[in-house]
Amino acid sequence: MQIQIIPIPAFKDNYIWLVHNGNAGLVIDPGDAQPVISHLKQLGLNLSTILITHHHHDHIGGVSDLLAAYPEAQVFAPKLETFDFIHHAVSEGEHILLPEFELTLEVLDLPGHTLGHVAYLSQSANDSPILFCGDTLFGAGCGRLFEGTPAQMLTSLKKLAALPTETRVYCTHEYTLHNINFALGLEPNNQALLNRHQSTIAQRNQLLPSLPSTIGLELATNPFLRGHSLEIQTSLGLKNASELEVFSITRDMRNHY
């Protein structure tokens, strides 16, 4: 059976991504164990793997209970952060082999939201690349800077922006529509953004997730990847400013939107 990737809603706007092959399951950033266990039981799955992108509680709060229920599950988490549960510490340059899912995941270091934040990237010759990026890149947005600097976050975002445009982006919050509304204030004539606004409204009206996105869609609509846009620079009063200046002001404005 080919792998399937489904979102498990948690809290107000989190998604815990469940990857499964009909027998085994893998979850990313399980902040709450209960909905994960419910889905695993409903689908008849055994939990084999947990991936953690960073240490915030809404991403790790369910790990201990999941390990109690599925003690054979292995956990991978960022090397530069501290966790109370047993795990394999990983950082950029390492690869995680998951033969039961026919996946090899490359670890990417993405400091900014937190200093040790990582992402997991699968590149397959037979399918579009898959990116689990936690709270670094969102639909039409990016994560707040709780620990890192604007320069670190911009570097991390540029690393993701350089991935193949067909890369599917699985982030962990349903912020897309709010981010688009913010982005339209900076780039109201961006037709790709206007189109995404309409399609996202339609998805959310049907209670469907706006994710996954793609790197190509983010390059066309995400203001944090579009510091080169003359319209955005004009809206900010920052013509001929550096990418970092544009990013820093945009991130600060989004903090208060």
Whether the per-residue pLDDT at 15 is higher than 90: the answer is yes
- What's the CATH code, domain 4-255? 3.60.15.10
Q: pTM score, two decimals? A: 0.96
pLDDT at 1: 62
pLDDT digits (tens, 9 = 90+) for 90-147: 999 999 999 999 899 999 999 999 999 999 999 765 689 999 999 999 999 999 999 9
The pair phi, psi for residue 191, each rounded to 5°, is -65, -35
Could you tell me where the DSSP H helices lie in the chain? Answer: 33-43, 57-60, 63-69, 150-161, 176-186, 191-205, 215-221, 230-236, 243-255
For 191-210, give one letter per residue: b (16+ CB within 10 A) or e: eebeebbeebeebeeeeeeb
Residue 150 vs residues 117, 157, 223: alpha-carbon distances, Å: 14, 10, 14
pLDDT at 239: 84
pLDDT at 126: 67
pLDDT at 164: 95
pLDDT digits (tens, 9 = 90+) for 49-101: 999 999 999 999 999 999 999 999 999 999 999 999 999 999 999 999 999 99
Confidence band of 37 (pLDDT split at 50, 70, 90):
very high
pLDDT at 240: 81
Percentage of residues in the chain having pLDDT higher than 70: 98
Sorted by sequence, the CB contacts under 8 Å of residue 46 that are 6+ apart come out as: 23, 24, 25, 40, 70, 72
Where are the domains positioned within the chain? 4-255
pLDDT digits (tens, 9 = 90+) for 231-256: 999 999 998 889 999 999 999 999 99
Whether the per-residue pLDDT at 29 is higher than 80: the answer is yes
Q: Which helix (H) or strand (E) holds 15?
A: strand 14-20
CB 130 within 8 A of CB 114: no
Task: Give the span between the Cα atoms of 175 and 169, in whole angstroms.
Answer: 14
Average pLDDT, the chain: 96
